[in-house]
């Protein structure tokens, strides 16, 4: 779906990008750094996450808050999604061999 660029008379169609989606979920889940720029601008960047070096406690916090973000913005309960349903689906993926 085309969107109008704010403050301009230009239209664009955003591309779907899994890495950007992952970064968006990470920021919404609260795992981000705030970066200051020389022009006074401030940006929020998703933290670089290494699951292999993450403590179990931090992994569980990230997992839980990421599921909350997905349920709030993407996997709407009105469409039948719930935390148990998401967790069952994740369990199926993990155990798929």
Predicted confidence (pLDDT) per residue in 3-57, tens digit = 888 888 888 888 899 999 999 999 999 999 999 999 999 999 999 888 778 888 9
Structure tokens that stand for 11 in this block = 């239209």
CA count, 13 A, side-chain hemisphere, 27:
13
| Residue among 18, 48, 20 nearest 32 (CA) | 48
Q: Is the pLDDT of residue 82 over 90?
A: yes
pTM comes to 0.74
Coarse DSSP helix, strand, coil percentages of the chain, rounded to the nearest 5 percent: 50, 15, 35
What is the rounded distance in angstroms from the CA atom of residue 63 to the CA atom of residue 4? 34
């Amino acid at each position: 779906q085309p969107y109008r660029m704010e403050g301009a008379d230009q239209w664009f169609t955003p591309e779907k990008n899994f890495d950007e989606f992952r970064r968006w979920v990470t920021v919404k889940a609260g795992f981000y750094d705030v970066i200051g720029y020389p022009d006074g601008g401030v940006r929020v960047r998703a933290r670089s996450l290494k699951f292999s070096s993450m403590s179990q406690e931090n992994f569980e916090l990230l997992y839980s808050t990421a599921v909350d973000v997905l349920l709030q913005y993407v996997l709407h309960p009105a469409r039948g999604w719930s935390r148990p349903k998401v967790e069952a689906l994740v369990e199926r993926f993990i155990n798929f061999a």
